[in-house]
Structure 1
Amino acid sequence: MSDPAGAGASLFTRLASGVHRHRGRVLGGAGVLLALAVWALLQGGHLTTGTIEGIESARAEALARGAAAGSTDQTLAVIFHRDDWTTDDPRFGEAVASVLARVERLPEVESVVSPVGAPDAFRARFVAKTGHDLLALVRLKGGEREATAAFPTVRKALEDPRFQTTLTGKVAFLSALNELLEHDLLRAELLSFPLALVVLLWVFRTVVAAMLPLVVGGLAVLCGVAGVLLLSRVTNMAQYTLNVVSLIGLGVAIDYSLFIVSRFRAELAEGLTTEQALMRTLDTAGRAVAFSGLAVTVGLAGLLFFRGSYLSAMGLGGALVVAFAVLFALTVLPALLSWLGPRVDKGRLPFARGTGRGGLWHALATWVMRHPWWVLLPTLTLLLAMGLPFRRLELAATDITALPAHTEARQGAETLARLFPREAATRVLVAVEFPSGNPFTPERAGALHDASRRIAALPGVVGVESAVDLVPGMDRATVQQLAGAPLQALPPELRAARAAYLTDNVAVLQVLTSQAPSSREARDLVRTLRQDRAVGDGRLVVGGQTATDVDATAFVKRHTPAAVAFVMGMTCVVLFVLLRSVVLPLKALLMNLLSLAGSFGALVWIFQEGHLHRLLDFEPGPIEPSLPILLFCALFGLSMDYEVLLLSRIREEWLRTGDNTHAVAEGLERTGGLITSAAAIMVAVFAAFSLASVVVVKAMGLGMAIAVALDATLVRVLIVPSMMRLMGDLNWWGPGHSAHVRHLHAPGRTRGETP
């Protein structure tokens, strides 16, 4: 008996035959991989927040780290409140002192600053005018990751039944953000699986067939998340990465499985045996899945151009989960189909099937072929109009307003701003690095005084805190005199201030502004400070939240052109290899850009300009700088799912008949229902993430849902077929095009004979 997957068979046919013969081993291997993934999940990882290495703000933070007042990133603002005690009551002070003494003994705590026992001038800054609220500052040890990990312990130590205690600050914000991201991830997955199952039941009309994509999707996400946790032990992986991996992995894995199961059932319906149907399925739908997975991976690989940032880690995690999705779709799923055979149609449901070559798609395909201009022009106009708001894009990093209003960190920030406006003011960190030696010699102290006065006069600045701003109105000569005096001769508060703002060869200044950290005025202040860097023989660098915002935006903009060019260029190559056409890959790039334009315009209209904010429950504001490029890289690849499926089927028909109009109509008729069903699944998955509490995750989920919906309806079903109808045989122009056309029309060849 001859081998159906002999020497002349394609790679995918041989793969199908091998999986069919060794399905037990394939499923056993998947079981081992599943066990390893569960083990990795139980081990956990070391996830961080999004950071970017090498930017100026990070250097400023590093220089100022040794000074107690150098950075507020690891400082918790703690507000103690009691209705029936006033802050002048000795019981209030004694109770606060006992709580803070307990906290100060914790190994995670570096220092505690409070008004208890402090001079009156200092105490006034930390006691609210309400008479019932007192502020303390708790500085944690280590960097951002260590401080965030220590937060729950410190938070518990600060709890006391005598007070209502509220905490805020960057560490509190990051801790709340991480908790919400974990909660959002769990809720999204619990919602997306049932939603996907409903669509799959509608598509397949049988329970067994509908469950198979969920199995593959669950395996891909589980292994992808496990891989990210393992990678987080050797490289920086942001907490967001888990949400991105789950979002992308579940969508593509279910889609790929939908394509393969649908084709397998169609081949069985044609009377093929299980093995024959499996080989035909992998040689057609399997090939499309492989190329689609490659296109998605290429898109996500564009994020690797942002080396040194959390974006590159997200690209790595996304590429990993897509690889798992393709692997399981081409091995585990065929093994299950081989084992099931015709039983894939078990559990038939009574309602009508949702896909197929029904009258709707036949009528639509015929209408598009007859009226291509009437289809193309209005649809193009609509997409371009949807993209217009993107021209008004404003970028700003995620801040505490990304948290829901009920979270303690956000409520604490609002309380701090109301009761202690100076402590809540936006702080721009200025670190002045001198070549070597004492940063507070008389000469350098004079230069610092001049710089402080110059900065204090800038628009929007409400104060400057530094070693030369100990007493308001202190002149240059007094500053220099104090700088030359022995440390022991200074009053205690002046010694403490010098210790707080000076370290090694670095002097620290905190520039206070009443503007919001993400405001244009605060950004202009950072840029103005960076225009004149000379401070005596020292040089200043600028850090803080606003500076990080400016630097992160500049970092993303600097690397975006190379990433976009790589993604578009490599996508062209992948599609050329699949389709053997020069024109179709270029058209595909244009189509992707159109669907992305509509999605990006909607993103700005909804999240930046605030339309629908009450319905979606979020606070409008600038877009996170990483979001557009993250969506571009992810969606550019995901859009290829439908492009590859549609064009592969059209190419099959064109190779069979040589008739472009017939091939386009037949391809749309055969795949239109499948594409819209697959898109419905992705939209359901992404929409589940749009219900997240964190605005960035909500925006990403909704942005991807809108893009996929536009891509699968307006673009793939209307614009692509109409353009291909108008372009005719030019669609297939490429190397060997003329010879192939001559072969199709060679004498003696009958129409329908595959070359």
Structure 2
Amino acid sequence: MSQPTSDAPSVFARLARGVYRHWGRVLGGGGVLLALAVWVLLQGGHLTTGTIDGIEASRAESLARGAAAGANDQTLAVIFHRDDWTTDDPRFTQAVASVLERVQRLPEVEAVVSPVGAPEAFRARFVAKTGHDLLALVRLKGGEREATAAFPAVRAALEDPRLQTTLTGKVAFVHALNELLAHDLLRAELISFPLALLVLLWVFRTAVAAMLPLVVGGLAVLCGVAGVLLLSRVTNMAQYTLNVVSLIGLGVAIDYSLFIVSRFRSELAEGLTTEDALARTLDTAGRAVAFSGLAVTVGLAGLLFFRGSYLSAMGLGGALVVAFAVLFALTVLPALLSWLGPRVDRGKLPFAHTNRRGGAWHALATWVMRHPWWVLVPTLALLLAMGLPFRRLELAATDITALPAHTEARQGAETLARLFPREAATRVLVAVEFPSGNPFTPERAGALFDASRRIASLPGVVGVESAVDLVPGMDRATVQRMAAAPPQALPPELGSARAAYLTGNVAVLQVLTSQAPSSREARDLVRELRVDRAVGDGRLTVGGQTASDVDAAAFVKHHTPAAVGFVMGMTCVVLFVLLRSVVLPLKALLMNLLSLTGSFGALVWIFQEGHLHRLLRFEPGPIEPSLPILLFCTLFGLSMDYEVLLLSRIREEWLRTGDNTHAVAEGLEQTGGLITSAAAIMVAVFAAFSLASVVVVKAMGLGMAIAVALDATLVRVLIVPAMMRLMGDLNWWGPGHSWRSRARVKQREVVP
């Protein structure tokens, strides 16, 4: 253990002594923060599914918002069914009419479209061939947030004891997704806390010490979630940010507490008083926690480069919960330790042991030092092989298939596709904006007719719905005559239907394809539609779910290089300040990339290609566009926990002895058990989130669990020591001294 040469206490030591003298006030402050967090949680927030500002798909939706046919996102598809009534039975139609009349009176409802009282040609679209099913469309007011908030009231109004009612649509999907995310969050926490406690009991062998990290973890998560809810009132915050924040906060808070409690107990065992042990603990492990928290925050700050999207807000939420984890680990936890003192070892378990280091880590360290090439080459090959599936990555936003099969929205979508295939077809929104004036003059109607026929001929298109496609078989001249006719000269149903596709100076076309929204064919169709944008003197803009997928993937791809460069560059700076070496930060970047390579490859192999879909209970499909960059920014920082822990101990031994091989072996022997214990806790926490019903949360939890497991075993315990053994004294090269001689200046080291 290194000794400081200066008599001046460090900031961390002064903090420790201040907390020791005023531990009651510190705990009181923590209690106030807890009370405020609980109050905010009771108030709730304004969470969404997550949007990206400024993309073309959003602009198309905005242009078409005034047209009834352009508001797919706020429209509910309602299927009415009764086994013993047919659709032409007056009792059926009267029951449906009374329900829809009640719904129409709701202030949240903008319009209702149904076959009741409609012309026969229109009615055929909304009556199933089964003879027992009717379809109605209920359009809600406002945007996604307002429509989702209104859904429960609308759903209740649609209930009728005479009918079986099934709802689907984006609003129903979002509502079901939000409920599942809340349920997943509660279940994951109920599972992860006991799992973490079991690992902590195994690590500490005393009940009191094992409970302390859980206290800090609970405080950090509660305050972090409260912070997210507050942020959601002023910025676009996705619903599953709560799950991500809980996942990150619980993992890092317990890890940081593990480092501090472990070091405190070690210092007490050396015979130090409680105050001195606490000062030494924060001067070593506390410093490591501060640097680790800074590294994690730097990683999450990479998400700020995705300005205008929910990713940026998610980065703020993640950084906030990490800040709370560091704050409580350096204040509330030391206050608890000040109060407990030697009582931290109370509640010893019957299977307690005294040899924490054991011979296994000594034997492993010795073997790695003797056979670095035999360790390095096969392990590198294994990680690179695990990463190969990532080359086949496909990205698409979360859709209805992310919901479990038992949810109403999912069942409704499948019923809609079976009974009303045209209404269930994937719809690509095309909004044609003209410079000004009426979008349906004879000249513009002719241009819309030409564009509609061109679009209808594209591969995969099964139909086009627009103001020029109201009557099958109409030619261009007929369309232009209809455009020239005064509205009162048109049949009422034709006039109202045409108005559904026109708003202001914008004409709306719905392009129907039988391909799934996330399919490659549907994305190719969106790109093809954007090739030729001219429609007479107007210009078309493409929107809809598939277009949003295309734009989101392009948005993420465009901003990723800057985010990755920032994270890697700032991580190098943080590690250079800590280790005073140029080589070790660069090596750390390479090690982090290796951990991520294996995790990303496993993500594609499992969730995109579906190799474990029966075991994990999900439907394979493309990866959510935000997931890879979210994992990168989060895990790049989390990996620094183990890097800081291992390299700080190695550097301490190198400064003491000047022997690189001995320093690496000793550092691995002293920290190997702590690294694997901390990783076991994180894996337990993250694995609990992999049990989620929502695929994106399941993938996030499992991806992080795999990355941490690889990082703490293959990378930190095998590859890092092997590489450092091979590089020798070059590891310690830095400005101001030769790589052939060790530094002679003693400093306080970060040694948890």
Structure 2 counterpart of 1:128: 128
Using the alignment, how far apart are the partners of 2:210 and 2:236 within structure 1? 37
User: Aligned in 2, Cα 1:742/1:668: closer, same or farther, shift over 3 Å?
Assistant: closer
**What RMSD in Å do the two structures reach over aligned CA positions?**
1.6
Using the alignment, how far apart are the partners of 1:520 and 1:738 within structure 2? 56
What SS is found at the alignment partner of 1:737? coil
Using the alignment, how far apart are the partners of 1:497 and 1:537 within structure 2? 24
Using the alignment, how far apart are the partners of 1:552 and 1:260 within structure 2? 41
Using the alignment, how far apart are the partners of 2:105 and 2:95 within structure 1? 16
Describe how 1:584-599 pairs up with structure 2 within 5 A. Answer: 584-599=584-599
Using the alignment, how far apart are the partners of 1:248 and 1:739 within structure 2? 38
Equivalenced residue count is 745
Using the alignment, how far apart are the partners of 1:333 and 1:218 within structure 2? 12
Task: Report the Cα offset of residue 71 of structure 1.
Answer: 2.2
Structure 1 counterpart of 2:23: 23
Task: Report the Cα offset of residue 354 of structure 1.
Answer: 9.3
User: Aligned in 2, Cα 1:5/1:232: closer, same or farther, shift over 3 Å?
Assistant: farther
Structure 2 counterpart of 1:716: 716
Is the CA contact 2:434–2:538 (under 8 Å) kept in the aligned structure 1? yes
Structure 2 counterpart of 1:523: 523
Structure 1 counterpart of 2:307: 307
Structure 2 counterpart of 1:167: 167
Q: Deviations along 1:217-262, whole A, 9 cap, x unmatched?
A: 0000000001111111111111011001000000000000000000
Task: Report the Cα offset of residue 87 of structure 1.
Answer: 0.4
Deviates more, 1:236-245 or 1:9-18: 9-18
Structure 2 counterpart of 1:76: 76
What SS is found at the alignment partner of 2:500? helix
Structure 2 counterpart of 1:697: 697
Deviates more, 1:653-662 or 1:375-384: 653-662
Using the alignment, how far apart are the partners of 1:82 and 1:742 within structure 2? 84
Match status 1:626 vs 2:626: yes
Describe how 1:254-269 pairs up with structure 2 within 5 A. Answer: 254-269=254-269
User: Aligned in 2, Cα 1:508/1:20: closer, same or farther, shift over 3 Å?
Assistant: same
Is the CA contact 2:639–2:708 (under 8 Å) kept in the aligned structure 1? yes
What SS is found at the alignment partner of 1:428? strand
Is the CA contact 1:5–1:14 (under 8 Å) kept in the aligned structure 2? no
> Which ranges of structure 2 fall in alignment gaps of 5 or more residues?
none
Match status 1:444 vs 2:444: yes
Using the alignment, how far apart are the partners of 2:366 and 2:742 within structure 1? 27
Is the CA contact 2:655–2:743 (under 8 Å) kept in the aligned structure 1? no
Using the alignment, how far apart are the partners of 1:340 and 1:586 within structure 2? 41
Is the CA contact 1:202–1:354 (under 8 Å) kept in the aligned structure 2? no
Counterpart amino acid of residue 295 in structure 1: A
Describe how 1:19-58 pairs up with structure 2 within 5 A. Answer: 19-58=19-58
Using the alignment, how far apart are the partners of 2:470 and 2:245 within structure 1? 51
User: Aligned in 2, Cα 1:339/1:5: closer, same or farther, shift over 3 Å?
Assistant: farther
Is the CA contact 1:204–1:353 (under 8 Å) kept in the aligned structure 2? no
What SS is found at the alignment partner of 1:547? helix
Is the CA contact 2:71–2:139 (under 8 Å) kept in the aligned structure 1? no
Describe how 1:483-498 pairs up with structure 2 within 5 A. Answer: 483-498=483-498
Task: Report the Cα offset of residue 738 of structure 1.
Answer: 2.8
Task: Report the Cα offset of residue 742 of structure 1.
Answer: 6.2
Using the alignment, how far apart are the partners of 2:37 and 2:393 within structure 1? 40
Q: Deviations along 1:186-217, whole A, 9 cap, x unmatched?
A: 00000000000000000000000000000000
User: Aligned in 2, Cα 1:414/1:742: closer, same or farther, shift over 3 Å?
Assistant: closer
Match status 1:420 vs 2:415: no
Is the CA contact 1:355–1:677 (under 8 Å) kept in the aligned structure 2? no
Task: Report the Cα offset of residue 6 of structure 1.
Answer: 9.4
Using the alignment, how far apart are the partners of 2:507 and 2:324 within structure 1? 51
Show structure 1 runs of 4+ deviating over 4 A.
Answer: 4-7
Structure 2 counterpart of 1:194: 194
Counterpart amino acid of residue 658 in structure 1: G
What SS is found at the alignment partner of 2:70? coil
Task: Report the Cα offset of residue 740 of structure 1.
Answer: 9.9
Match status 1:149 vs 2:149: yes
Using the alignment, how far apart are the partners of 1:476 and 1:387 within structure 2? 55
Q: Deviations along 1:275-307, whole A, 9 cap, x unmatched?
A: 111111111111111000000000000000001
Is the CA contact 2:680–2:709 (under 8 Å) kept in the aligned structure 1? yes
Task: Report the Cα offset of residue 50 of structure 1.
Answer: 1.0
What SS is found at the alignment partner of 2:69? coil
Task: Report the Cα offset of residue 355 of structure 1.
Answer: 7.7
Counterpart amino acid of residue 441 in structure 1: T
Is the CA contact 2:295–2:640 (under 8 Å) kept in the aligned structure 1? yes
Using the alignment, how far apart are the partners of 1:540 and 1:708 within structure 2? 47
Is the CA contact 1:356–1:670 (under 8 Å) kept in the aligned structure 2? no
Using the alignment, how far apart are the partners of 2:198 and 2:5 within structure 1? 37
Task: Report the Cα offset of residue 357 of structure 1.
Answer: 1.4
Counterpart amino acid of residue 246 in structure 1: S
What SS is found at the alignment partner of 2:738? helix
Match status 1:645 vs 2:645: yes
Using the alignment, how far apart are the partners of 1:740 and 1:653 within structure 2? 16
What SS is found at the alignment partner of 1:510? strand
Task: Report the Cα offset of residue 352 of structure 1.
Answer: 3.5
Counterpart amino acid of residue 37 in structure 1: A
Task: Report the Cα offset of residue 88 of structure 1.
Answer: 1.1
Q: Deviations along 1:456-514, whole A, 9 cap, x unmatched?
A: 11111111101111111101111111111111010011111121000110000000001
Is the CA contact 2:730–2:739 (under 8 Å) kept in the aligned structure 1? no
Describe how 1:370-385 pairs up with structure 2 within 5 A. Answer: 370-385=370-385
Describe how 1:395-414 pairs up with structure 2 within 5 A. Answer: 395-414=395-414
TM-score, scaled to structure 2 = 0.98
Is the CA contact 2:46–2:232 (under 8 Å) kept in the aligned structure 1? yes
Q: Deviations along 1:422-466, whole A, 9 cap, x unmatched?
A: 000000000000000010111111111111111111111111101
Is the CA contact 1:203–1:353 (under 8 Å) kept in the aligned structure 2? no
Task: Report the Cα offset of residue 388 of structure 1.
Answer: 0.7
User: Aligned in 2, Cα 1:490/1:608: closer, same or farther, shift over 3 Å?
Assistant: same
Counterpart amino acid of residue 189 in structure 1: E
Is the CA contact 1:103–1:158 (under 8 Å) kept in the aligned structure 2? yes
Counterpart amino acid of residue 381 in structure 1: A
Structure 2 counterpart of 1:241: 241
> Which ranges of structure 1 fall in alignment gaps of 5 or more residues?
none
Describe how 1:538-557 pairs up with structure 2 within 5 A. Answer: 538-557=538-557
Structure 1 counterpart of 2:106: 106
Using the alignment, how far apart are the partners of 1:197 and 1:730 within structure 2? 41
